[in-house]
A and B are shown apart, each in its own frame.
Chain A
């Protein structure tokens, strides 16, 4: 499964799962990063870590190890407006996150 950490800099994708520790998962979800949300790997810090991501117009910095917990898939082809698809997909989908 591709993760956020595998994305090339500047690329966007759709979140498919959020794994890792509960504290991390909960915090990310409360920032609005949920399965179906569009996410962009904006840049990598000069020393290689952390990485800057864009979610819902906000810039967040997370560590690379934690970025590996976020599963991503290519954006839906038809989704010219990525946010519209995020609205459709969010929440109720029975996609289970990888539990440690």
Chain B
């Protein structure tokens, strides 16, 4: 929040004569109340996805799909992330109040639609109460009214208590949505002026007034609203909160008042929150059809929980669900990936035929089209992963995953919800990093993003396969364990161990953050709504393509230029294409860079040819194989057999083989750890909105990889394994 907030109260368009600015409606509500489904219904699924100022929290804005329509003023509807309360300790929690009041760069809304879970009325009304205290005109949607069964809240009673408009809705079936639209349109014409009088204790009133005096003038409106904002400040401000744009004088005053309260043996938080709940509880019974505040039975969820979080069946089902998710990322995405690859190849062939030779053709065919393919190839896995995440979240099972795994994940410093993203990292880091969005706190997201690239993604497999096939004999240890298979399993175990240890260390050293208690709601099980999930799949994919995709494309084109230019001056006539390609890459900037880097990687057992391969692998790790194919003149194919034989035969100046099993092991260890993948780095940049974190990720995995390979190679040599 800033003192400049008053300036943002009206948008620039409002000042232009003749142009009527759209009215603004924000949709607020607790998590798990069906807010997104209702938002989709209100906007008819036309939403622009952006970010809130300063934080990577998605902001969706759509046009109200008006019932009247005929020349009525346009209405923008903004979906605010779920919040149990307006009070905040972090910049992310601060979004709710910023959006509700139009503070900071947020436009000032004309109306708040508060989506309320009719089956959890009192707790949900706590948020309504705060909004009404802050004099925000409210329309309350008593959502999921069907679940409240025979003891549904009475809209008229709710409306009367708060002086708001209340409409029963069911976002899933669309019931009451037309009424809600009409109520919104009417409320925009004549904003409902809510009013309540919570009987706060007398001593507290004096404290609140002292804080209100310290409010910046731009935030002040009238006495009651100032007091409400002062109560917000008193509950939210902390000696070590992470709130943005709180004026120092206000912060100091709030801390002073809190300190004095503690000295007097009082608890201001409890006085404020307790008075609000006392007010709600005193009126609760009158709000229900049956005259008692009795939450609906959770019998169905309880029955399911007896199985789904059972010590034995619970874990068994969990394992099955995770295996299906994991397996599907590999197998179900495969046809999609192959389709993308084939389409891009066909386009490349087509473009090569259409264009005349030279740099431009190569740029289009190999650079740009190759780069586009390199972006779109992630789409099948992203769609699939978010299909699963949507279904798991909407059904309520994801909260149970966090509940079941919390003990294990916490020991590593990770959030329980980090499990699914980390598991997805075994398929591909890109969708996995996008999936960290399911965690609310920046610290949890960041830590998870920093370790996901250490999970052995499927793009590393072709590299492992090549190295193992080329350098390790197909023999069996102890007469029955195949050495090659053992190595493959060993690489997975090694990388996973490194990832978990890194999480442990990074969580204590790098992304420390405050320890925040884990309070997780276990919502009732509900049938997932496919439309909502499809919508999310599309939103995530689109934002990946437009934001991370462009960077990936640019980097891929740049790498292509580096590895194919400058072209060798002249090749003797009759040179085979493979040899020509070999000459090109050896003389390219990339080839020269590989040679220049040789001293740095020599202690790991890598020669310049491997260094060039590592450079090529930045496009995508499996490109290592085809780059090595170019370097060795065996052609750029996916068939590793000729390359494998060529690598086995390669010798050093002293006649010893250039590649030994030890070199291979060192190379695989390097591949396991180093985050040499532009797509991953671009995605982390997009998700953190900073260059610092991808740079850190690249640096820490690079150093760690070098050290680990160094230990393997030099240690192996000392043991005489060379």
Contact = CB atoms under 8 A, between A and B. Distances in A.
Interface in A35-62: 35, 43, 45-50, 52, 56-62
A29 B269 contact: yes
Contacts of B437: none
A62 B309 CA distance: 15
Interface string A16-50: 00101111111111111011000000010111111
Nearest to B282: A87
B201 A92 contact: yes
Contacts of A66: 517-519
A80 B523 CA distance: 27
A74 interface: no
B89 A23 contact: yes
B516 A23 contact: yes
A32 B281 CA distance: 10
Given A56-B122, A57-B295, A24 B309 contact: no
Nearest to B276: A91
Interface residues of A, number: 42
B84 interface: yes
Contacts of A92: 201, 274-275, 278
Contact of A99 (B87, B235, B262, B518): B262
A66 B517 CA distance: 8
Contacts of A43: 305, 309
A55 B671 CA distance: 49
Interface stretch (B353-361, B372-380, B402-410): B402-410
Contact of B270 (A23, A34, A83, A86): A34
Interface string B384-417: 0000000000000001001110111010000000
B293 A83 contact: yes
B298 interface: yes
Interface string B264-297: 0111011101110110011010000000011110
Contact of A50 (B296, B406, B514): B406
A31 to B, nearest CB: 6
Contacts of B408: 47
A3 B322 CA distance: 36
A16 to B, nearest CB: 12
Nearest to B270: A29
Given A22-B238, A62-B518, A83-B293, A57 B120 contact: yes
B315 interface: yes
Nearest to A46: B311
A22 B89 CA distance: 10
B124 to A, nearest CB: 10
A47 B311 CA distance: 8
Nearest to A64: B407
Contact of B274 (A49, A91, A96, A99): A91
A22 B255 CA distance: 13
B314 A90 contact: no
B342 interface: no
A60 B281 contact: no
A25 B519 contact: no
B274 A29 contact: yes
B519 A91 contact: no
A83 B285 CA distance: 10
B406 A61 contact: yes
A14 to B, nearest CB: 14
Q: Which of A43, A57, A83, A99 has the most CB of B within 10 A?
A: A57
B85 interface: yes
A61 B425 CA distance: 27
Nearest to B520: A61
A86 B281 contact: yes
Given A32-B126, A34-B277, A90-B281, A27 B407 contact: no
B278 A20 contact: no
B407 A45 contact: yes
A62 B301 CA distance: 19
Nearest to A87: B281
A44 B598 CA distance: 56
B220 interface: no
B29 interface: no
Contacts of A48: 407
24 contacts: A23-B517, A25-B269, A26-B235, A26-B273, A28-B519, A29-B269, A29-B270, A32-B126, A45-B406, A46-B309, A48-B407, A49-B406, A50-B403, A50-B518, A52-B522, A59-B521, A61-B403, A61-B521, A62-B518, A62-B520, A66-B519, A91-B275, A91-B278, A97-B267
Give the top 10 A-B pairs by smallest Cβ distance, nearest first.
A57-B295, A91-B274, A91-B278, A46-B311, A47-B407, A24-B517, A59-B522, A87-B281, A61-B520, A29-B273
